[in-house]
Amino acid sequence: MLIAAGGFWSWQEYRRANQFRGVTLRIGVEHNPPTYDWSEQKGATGFAVDVMNEAARRAGVTLEWVYCERGSRVALESRFIDMWPAGYYRPGEYPALHQTRPWGQDQHAFVFDKGRMEEAPENLGGVNVAVVNRMAPLALARRLFPKARLVPAPSRRDVLRTMCVGAADVSFMDMRTVEGMLLDRPEQCREKTLQVKPLPEFTDPTSIFAWKDFGPVADVLRDRIDDMAADGTLMRFADRWLSFASSDVRHLLGLQEQARQLRWLGAVCLVMALAIGLMTWLIAKLRSARAGADRARQLQAEFLANVSHEIRTPMNGVLGTADLLLETVDNAEMREQVETIRESAYGQLELLNQILDQSKIDSGLLLLETTPFSPRKLVEQVEKTFLPMARRKGVELRAVVEGDAPALVQGDGLRIRQVLTNLVNNAIKFTKEGSVEIGLRVEGGGTMVTLLFTVSDTGIGIPRELQGSIFEKFRQVDASTTRKYGGTGLGLSISRQLVRLMGGELTLESEPGQGSRFGFQVQLPVARSAAPEATAAPVKGQMLTGLVVLVVEDNVVNQKVAAGLLKRLGATVELAANGVEAVTKCREKEYDVVLMDCHMPEMDGYAATMEIRKMDGAVRHLPIVALTAGVSGEERLKAMQAGMDGFLAKPVNREELASTLAALPRRDVPAE
């Protein structure tokens, strides 16, 4: 395994070193011997030119040398070139450019005429200092000699000439340029007695400069320079171009010595590197697999949410139309058929909700909400919901609340109600005769209370050996249970997981033929505010009489259903097919409330709500209620953030629609 890891690491290094083979780069050069120089006959020559050419050859890169008369900074900023071989290392100073690790260094010096002064002045106040007219050298001279008068010269050769003709007292140059100038002096300096004063404290590292998009190529070339230092190639170039034992030569010798020492250290660390490389590879694979699994779960949840939305939209039309038909059909046989349609649709909706909830739980995306709710009223609402079903089967259904239940507690009342609804539905389904009891016992007091919910029945019961398995997904007591009573086997699994998310545990006590008792408990904080008064369900055509409602809905069937339900309740209805149309209508006419679909073409309900809230006058306070097939917590939060006053999930029944609209204020708008 280590051999395989070592081979993989070597292959990765080889791939990195050769990934830019065939790339051609324009690299700049100017007159600055012996570092680099340019002539029409020879082209680019010099120490840095040889180094970069050899590094490029080893990396398989082609360099096209370009003469830059105005210097490196101008050439790079104008994108005349892609790269510069050796510039002063200034990390962070040029954000648009990439700088490699330093590969050389420039030591600076003063050159002066000994015939005019015995030694270079220590205090440069008022002294004329000649320096090449390039951004980097000028900036360096200004920083080092703030009291001196700088005399810019067109080229490095002109720097020495400027001093020799008396236009400057001293020349400020790098040592490698001084070497070239002393061997090939300008004509004006040939009769002068020149003195060089090295400035070892003023030494600058140099690195390769490149545009950000060519930074990786520059780094590969820099790595090849390290290889050249290790095998002696760099020293041969230094012997060829650098006349004296300059700081560059000493620097290169130091690199060679370090390279020899590092070979031994590298051999010792090789096995460790292979092991670390293997571990890193395994960790990366595990992270990749986990990321893939997380993404798959996310996509699954998104897919099911989209499916839910697409199914709820037509389901709203089916159930709404069925409710409207039941109020108009007098024939008993037709009423029974319509009720069959409605009950079947509700069965499909329950199945959809269970699949969506299970997907969210499996993906870790199901989040609990914290809102005030009344435990006593929650139990009473569940009892009221199932009373018709229990009466049809001849089963007695009752609710019993023990202890002093607080008016309000903080928690996810919708999820607690979902668990109770599933337990009560199962209890009635599996009870042929007898009774079903919904129990609530309250323990504790002060700021925290414990709510103990139970659902007991006198039904068929569950054998002890099967009681553990019924909480598993898609499991029921046996196959005959599914054939006889229906169901997917998801309800109890979801209920247990919801209770666990709330910090409790769903328990079961049962004996075959004697019934079952399910229970769970949750600990919740007591809410400080008083419980809101429940709004009674309206009588037909009474509570919403005179209410002017704008229904914003792109689905034609759902437009008809919403309009039909509202008109039966006594409201006046107008329609808009999208958010743009809704905003226009709200500017032109006063409404009591807007029922806003959230997902529409041209402008969705969230954007339309925000546009209405920006309007001047009373319309900005117009009550807006979301009526959408999106039922997730994220959808509810987004609706509230957009400025909506309520939330109704499709499919919506008449009672829920009426109570929500009746609770809204009627055009009593506060003064601006």
For the segment 637-647, what is each residue's pLDDT rounded down to a tens digit? 888 888 998 88
From residue 473, give the alpha-carbon distance in Å to each of 346, 476, 495: 21, 9, 11
Q: Please answer whether residues 547 and 306 qualify as being in contact, where contact means their C-beta atoms are separated by less than 8 angstroms.
A: no
Q: CATH topology for 375-525?
A: Heat Shock Protein 90 (3.30.565)
Domain with CATH 3.40.50.2300 in the chain: 548-662
**Residue 534: what pLDDT?**
43
Instruction: Name the pTM for this structure.
Output: 0.45
Structure tokens at 443: 């323990």
Domain with CATH 3.40.190.290 in the chain: 2-244
In angstroms, rounded to a whole number, what is the distance separating the alpha carbons of residues 315 and 351? 13
**Residue 281: what pLDDT?**
85
Task: Give me the CATH code for the 548-662 domain, please.
Answer: 3.40.50.2300
Question: Measuring CA to CA, which residue among 508, 525, 344 is closest to residue 449?
Answer: 525
Residue 95 has pLDDT above 60, yes or no: yes
Q: What are the pLDDT digits (tens) for 266-307?
A: 767 777 877 788 788 888 888 888 888 777 766 766 666 666
**Residue 270: what pLDDT?**
78
Question: Measuring CA to CA, which residue among 255, 240, 242 is closest to residue 103?
Answer: 255
Task: Tell me which residue has tokens 């103990």.
Answer: 452
In angstroms, rounded to a whole number, what is the distance separating the alpha carbons of residues 550 and 592? 8
Give the rounded distance of the alpha carbon of 267 from its chain centre. Answer: 42
In angstroms, rounded to a whole number, what is the distance separating the alpha carbons of residues 152 and 131? 5
| Phi, psi torsion values for 398, nearest 5 degrees | -140, 155
**Residue 348: what pLDDT?**
65
**Residue 211: what pLDDT?**
93
Correct CATH for 2-244 of 2.60.90.10, 3.40.190.290, 1.10.1740.10, 3.30.70.20: 3.40.190.290
Residue 592 has pLDDT above 80, yes or no: yes
**Residue 217: what pLDDT?**
93
What Rg value do the Cα atoms of the chain yield, rounded? Answer: 42
Q: Please answer whether residues 197 and 119 qualify as being in contact, where contact means their C-beta atoms are separated by less than 8 angstroms.
A: yes
Question: Measuring CA to CA, which residue among 366, 498, 353 is closest to residue 420?
Answer: 498
Task: Tell me which residue has tokens 């340019």.
Answer: 38
Give the rounded distance of the alpha carbon of 161 from its chain centre. Answer: 61
Of residues 479 and 548, more confidently modeled: 548
Q: Work out the mean pLDDT of the chain and round it to a whole number.
A: 80
Residue 536 has pLDDT above 60, yes or no: no
Class of residue 242 by CB neighbours under 10 A (exposed 0-12, middle 13-18, buried 19+): buried
**Residue 335: what pLDDT?**
72
**Residue 486: what pLDDT?**
46
Q: To the nearest whole percent, how much of the chain has pLDDT over 90? A: 20
Contacting residues for 13 by C-beta, under 8 A, at least 6 apart: none
Reported in sequence order, the residue ranges of 412-488 that DSSP labels E, i.e. its strands, are 435-445, 448-457
In angstroms, rounded to a whole number, what is the distance separating the alpha carbons of residues 572 and 167? 95
As a whole number, mean pLDDT of residues 557-563 equals: 85
Q: With cut-offs at 50, 70 and 90, classify the pLDDT of residue 584.
A: very high
Residue 558 has pLDDT above 70, yes or no: yes
Question: How would you classify residue 541: left for phi > 0, otherwise alpha for psi between -120 and 50, otherwise beta?
Answer: left
| Phi, psi torsion values for 493, nearest 5 degrees | -60, -45
**Residue 594: what pLDDT?**
92
Reported in sequence order, the residue ranges of 503-576 that DSSP labels E, i.e. its strands, are 507-511, 515-525, 548-552, 572-576
Continuous segment of H or E residues that includes residue 405: none
Q: With cut-offs at 50, 70 and 90, classify the pLDDT of residue 29.
A: very high
Domain with CATH 3.30.565.10 in the chain: 375-525
Q: What are the pLDDT digits (tens) for 330-371?
A: 777 777 777 777 666 666 666 666 666 666 666 666 677 788
Residue 495 has pLDDT above 60, yes or no: yes
Contacting residues for 334 by C-beta, under 8 A, at least 6 apart: none
Residue 504 has pLDDT above 70, yes or no: yes
**Residue 221: what pLDDT?**
93
Residue 246 has pLDDT above 50, yes or no: no
In angstroms, rounded to a whole number, what is the distance separating the alpha carbons of residues 477 and 377? 33
Span of 99-108, 130-139, 269-278 with lowest mean pLDDT: 269-278
Q: With cut-offs at 50, 70 and 90, classify the pLDDT of residue 4.
A: low
- Buried residues in 211-221 as b, exposed as e (16+ CB within 10 A): beebbebbbbb
If one counts every other C-beta atom within 10 angstroms of the C-beta of residue 581, the result is 18
